[in-house]
Amino acid sequence: KKIILQTGADAVKLEGGSKIINIIKHLIKNNIPVQGHLGLLPQSQKGKFRYKGKKLAEGNKILKDAKLLETAGVFSIVLECVENSLAKKITKSIKIPTIGIGASVCCDGQVLVTDDLIGLNPIKVRFVKKYIDIRKYINNAIKKFKKEVKEKKFPNKKYIY
């Protein structure tokens, strides 16, 4: 509760299902809103990232966890890199909103990390659409700055006291 109050956050997002269900229940019992996160779990997963739900057992576990999270009281669930038909099945099976990130157009909403969306992150991931390559503009600005400093054109009278 202290973190919510001091940071001004509206909620917390936790990755996982049955393994962390007691933590989720405790937070919700203490009036802390929780958003679930299933599928690819980038903050807690080690190794190579791959999409989830291709295998039947894995998909069934994710669906079961989604229902468990809903029953526990989360207000929504992020589905990250979840196979398309599984994301659709989960979205139809629960009453709370699903938010897709590389999951499916069938989710109730979508999210992309801003650094990925604007091209700041050089890592290429299939589900990331770059709407602009901001790195190019940043690099050009840095080159211009460096050149002006070397040529003693910056700072000029306009930028000093």
Cite the active site residues.
Answer: 80
- In the block, which residue shows the tokens 């069934």? 60
Strands (E), 55-106: 76-80, 98-101
SS3 label, residue 105: coil
Quick check: 34 and 14 in contact, CB under 8 A? yes
SS3 label, residue 83: coil
Quick check: 12 and 43 in contact, CB under 8 A? no
Question: What are the backbone dihedrals phi and psi of residue 87, each rounded to the nearest 5 degrees, phi first?
Answer: -60, -40
Cα 29 from Cα 12, distance rounded (Å): 14
Of 56, 99, 104, give the one whose Cα is nearest residue 82: 104
